[in-house]
Structure 1
Amino acid sequence: MAISSPGLGSGLDVNSIISSLMAIEERPLTLLNQKEAEVQANISAMGSLKSALSSLQSSLTALGEEDTFRATSTQSSDSAVFTATSSSTATSANYAVTVNRLAQAHKVGSTAFADTATFGGAAGDEMILTVDSKTFTLDLSTAQTLSQIQSTINAELNTTGVTAGLITGDSGQQTLTLTASDTGYDNRVQLSYGGAINASTFNFSMLNRDSDDVLLATEAELDASVTIDGVPVTRSSNSITDAVAGLTLNLKTEGSASVTINADSSSATGAMNTFVASLNDVLNQVKSISSSGTGNSSVMRSIEFQLSSIMNAGQTGLGSYSYLSQLGVTTKEGGGMTFDSSKLSTAMTDDIEGVISFFSDTSKGFDVRMDGMLDSFLQSGGVIDSIVNGAKSEVTTITRNRSLMEQRLISTEARLRSQFESLDTLMSSMQTTSSYLTSQLESIANLTLNKS
């Protein structure tokens, strides 16, 4: 007789008993899950540490570049006249600058013609546009109106950069204009002709005017003209980059102003702040991993030891500075590093070459030594990768074992339920027999009483 409800035949709380028994059986699975959580935490921690070490390594790039320490800043006394920027090759100085004339893009215009007027029409008729070394030939063997000429010049085949415009005046007549794409005399529009077409056909003349609205006297005046500390400078562009080494002047309007170039330690300070912040991040990560017990303690100790060794090691033969502490980086109370930017600024003023050598010397500079140490941990297949790969292999093993264990638990629960079902059936049968026997004994007892 099958029992459909566990415990019905025996009167036992079978589901509760089986749950308790299975809880005992599942303890190894619980331990396995806990182990996986620990391994996954280790993988995550090592991933974060690797990212922090990579950021620290990246922060070394700026410290190893001379431009970081040779950076300069500029200031124009009147940005309406010109603005200025400077590079690391500039020298601290002050210059008086007078902008006499701005560079202009060359523009010419033709005589006014009726919109029906045509030009050319014979074999060999042509107009040639030349800008610097680029040319474009306008074929006029078939007669064209000014409107058609404009469209042809503005076509993609024209690589000179010259654009054509068409102006219709009050009289209804049209003027063809040609404008160069770049400023200056060297980028002026030069015209030549062929066939029956010649200079008098269109009678082009310069349209450029100065700040007083007076036509320029010559094409040479298309160039910008400035005076720097009394020295005349003429350039084709309003951005003058080669008059003073490392200084760029962006001309805005005619007038006078001064430009001041100063050494700028902000780039170096910013680079050092980034380095110290990245270093502290690594140290915090190592401390966290060590205290949580999720990582390889010997590797954490190795990272701390090697960082400390490089940070505190002295180096000779590179100038005035042997220790990072001389440049403002010291250990702070409670752990980690701190940076005093004033020490770095002073060091750069006293011996900038020594500061640069301290970081960037290719054989024993700070950057080289720190980068090499970090690379041993970060390189593909290195220490951290080995730890992570080992942990991932452990997760794979745990996953496989858990699957086997879960299958075994399913079988165990099924076996227990089958056993309790058999017990239920047996006890139900026994209870039936007991009831029958009790009934029979009562009947016998009643017969005995009746005979008495």
Structure 2
Amino acid sequence: MAITSVGIGSGLEVDKIVTQLVELEKAPLKTLEAKAETITSKISTYAEIKSLTDTLNTAAAKLSRDSAWNGVNISASNSNVAGAMTGIAQPGSYSVQVKQLAQSQTSVIGNGAAGVGFAKDAKVGAGTFTLTVGAKTFDITLTASDTLTTLATAINNKDSGVQATVITNADGTQRLMMRSKNTGTDAQFSIAATATDPGSTLGQIGSSTPGYYTVSQVAQNAKIELNGVEVESTSNTFADALPGMSLTVSTVSNSPTLISVAADTKAMKEGIQAFVDAYNALNDKLSALTKYDPDTGVKGLLQADSTTVSIQNALRMMTMNIVKGGGAFTRLSDIGIQMEQGGSLSVNDTDLTKALTDVSSLKGLFATKSDSLGANGGIGVNFKAFTDGMLAYEGTLNAKTDSLESSLKRNGTDQDKVLNRASTLESRLLAQYTALDVKMASLNALDAYVTQQVASWNKSTS
């Protein structure tokens, strides 16, 4: 009978023997798996470090720019005058009195001295209708069948800056209203007409017959008195009256409105606090990763990791840099920012608030540009440059991550090698024990036959 299961012929517990030998061959796998888990954790951790570094980079970059220190708040004593930033406005106070609002021109074409309307769909008459806006003229050719409605459509199609609309009275009669799209005297317009039939409506308009064409609202500029000086604008917004600021008016006023422009110290303070918070978040993370607890013997994941330790030391050193040529403040401690035990920064609100009264020196502390050698820059400039290098494509953090990912890949290769060796061993052992089983089965059969023959021989001899 053929052997169908390894161990039957030999009587040995082959499955158990093979399993134990294969497990011994796989023993290095546990060490490799544990190492892979550690490497994976480090890769994830460096991703967190990169994210925190990016936050610090953003906060430092903001403090390194002029815009962080040029911000102002604009307020008005009367809501009829509103100020808005258009650039870098200088702090100060301004008196604004609104004398006149800007308005657009409105003109009406009616019928007769009383300005009544034409009959519905009445014919205007053949000829040429000319619209003049500023220095530009727009000619419209009319036929005998054209009405106020077709004239309005033709005016609107000219894109002249004048909008035409047919308005209908309660009695059904119609008039043509034309209105400049923009306000101010630059947008005022006039009309002229040359008719084929002088007696037609178009002919009456062309001859300036009273009541056929009326300017119901004249175009005018807005006028204000700015610190007693009269200023005009074609709209109700004065974009260039004050450098870096625009003014918008809404109502004529009998008394001046006070416009105050003050440094936005609140935004500056928030920017500094955001920088401190970002620094502390990164420092705390690095401290937790590199610490060692002698009482418990627990090590941080990156304890003794040279890259992490180097980053932390460099960051702490930069907080103690002395900035020259920036003004009254030369170090962070001058504005109430101190380093605490463990490397974190703390902010003394009173000292910082006092420092915000000298915006120029505060700007110098953070935003002083580096020299030609890349040294002697402000705190914000230095931190931005350092974190830029860390975050660069070939920078510290990406290089470390790439190194860890390479190690993880090699670890995976080593695990595959262990598994392949174990698989090869298992196949070889099963082949050897299968051969042994066949041989043992053959010997067992021969033994049984010999025993049977001896027994028969003994019996026949007796």
What range describes the TM-score normalised by the shorter chain of this pair? 0.7 to 0.9
Question: Which of 154, 159, 171 is matched with 1:152 structurally?
Answer: 154
Change (3 A) 1:18 1:356: same
1:108 maps to a residue whose letter is S
Partner of residue 215, structure 1:
none
- Please state if 1:413 is matched with 2:411: no
Q: How does 1:120-199 map to 2 (within 5 A)?
A: 121-122=126-127, 125-130=128-133, 136-140=138-142, 144-155=146-157, 158-188=158-188, 190-193=189-192, 195-196=194-195, 198=206
Equivalent-residue separation in structure 2 for 1:90 and 1:286 (angstroms): 42
Relative to structure 1, the CA distance from residue 175 to residue 345 in structure 2 (aligned partners, 3 Å threshold; closer, same or farther) is: farther
| CA distance in 2 between partners of 1:169 and 1:271 (Å) | 62
* Partner of residue 212, structure 1: none
363, 388, 395: which one aligns with 1:375: 388
Residue 258 of structure 1 deviates from its aligned partner by: 4.3
- Note the C-alpha offset of 1:310: 1.8
Instruction: State the match for 2:66 in structure 1.
Output: 66
Tell me, in whole angstroms, the C-alpha distance in 2 between the residues paired with 1:118 and 1:342.
Answer: 80
Which amino acid is the alignment partner of residue 179 of structure 1?
R
- What CA deviation, in whole Å up to 9, does each residue of 1:265-300 have, x standing for no partner? 111112112212222232234334435445882222
Describe the superposition over 1:150-192 as per-residue Cα deviations: whole angstroms up to 9, x where unpaired: 223333xx4434322221111212222223332222233x134
Cα deviations by residue, 1:53-101 (Å, 9 ceiling, x for unpaired):
233222223212333223222333443x343335642324364x44444
Check conservation: 1:45, 1:294, Cα contact below 8 A.
no
Which residue of structure 1 aligns with residue 84 of structure 2? 85
After superposition, what is the alpha-carbon deviation per residue over 1:359-388, rounded to whole angstroms, capped at 9, x for unaligned? 222233313333333333333323333333
Asked if structure 2 preserves the Cα contact closer than 8 Å seen for 1:9 and 1:428, the reply is yes
Equivalenced residue count is 429
- Cα RMSD for the two superposed structures: 3.4
Whether the 8 Å CA contact 1:107–1:179 is kept in 2: the answer is yes
CA 1:334–1:374 in 2, change beyond 3 Å: closer, same or farther?
closer
- Asked if residue 355 in structure 1 is aligned to residue 362 in structure 2, the reply is yes
* Alignment of 1:237 onto 2:235: yes
> Which amino acid is 2:434 matched to?
E
Q: Secondary structure at the match of 1:183?
A: coil
Q: What letter corresponds to residue 205 of structure 1 in structure 2?
A: T
Unaligned runs of 5+ in 1: 209-217
Find the counterpart in structure 2 of residue 302 from structure 1: 310
Alignment of 1:307-346 (within 5 A): 307-346=315-354
Give, in angstroms, the shift of residue 445 of structure 1. Answer: 7.4
Query: What is the letter of the counterpart of residue 118 of structure 1?
Result: K
How far apart, in 1, do the equivalents of 2:9 and 2:345 lie? Answer: 74
Query: Match for 2:118 among 104, 113, 138?
Result: 113
Give the TM-score taking structure 1 as reference length. 0.81
Q: Deviations over 1:29-61 (max 9, x none)?
A: 443343333333333333332333233222223
Q: Is the 8 A contact 1:92 1:263 kept in 2?
A: no
Question: 2:215 maps to which residue?
Answer: 206
Contact 2:108 2:214 in 1 (8 A): yes
| Distance in 2 separating the partners of 1:127 and 1:315 | 70
Once the two structures are TM-superposed, the CA of residue 312 in structure 1 deviates from its matched residue by: 0.3
143-152 or 271-280, larger mean C-alpha shift: 143-152
Map 1:257-296 → 2, pairs under 5 A: 258-291=258-291, 292-294=300-302
Judged with a 3 Å threshold, the aligned counterparts in structure 2 of structure 1 residues 437 and 371 are, in CA distance, closer, same or farther, namely: same
8 Å contact kept, 2:161–2:187:
no
Amino acid at match of 1:104: Q
**DSSP 3-state at the match of 2:42:** helix
Note the C-alpha offset of 1:330: 1.9
* Counterparts in 2 of 1:446 and 1:342: CA distance versus 1, 3 Å: farther
- The one-letter code of the counterpart of 2:123 is T
User: C-alpha displacement at 1:441, in angstroms?
Assistant: 6.4
Per the TM alignment, residue 354 of structure 1 is displaced from its structure 2 partner at its CA by: 1.5
Give the distance between the partners of 1:330 and 1:392, measured in 2 at CA: 38
Identity, % of aligned positions: 25
- CA shift for structure 1 position 134: 6.3
TM-score, length of structure 2 as denominator length: 0.79
Partner of 2:407: 394
Question: CA shift at 1:405, angstroms?
Answer: 4.2
Matched-pair contact (CA < 8 Å) for 1:127–1:140: no
Q: Quick one: distance in 2 between partners of 1:410 and 1:179?
A: 91
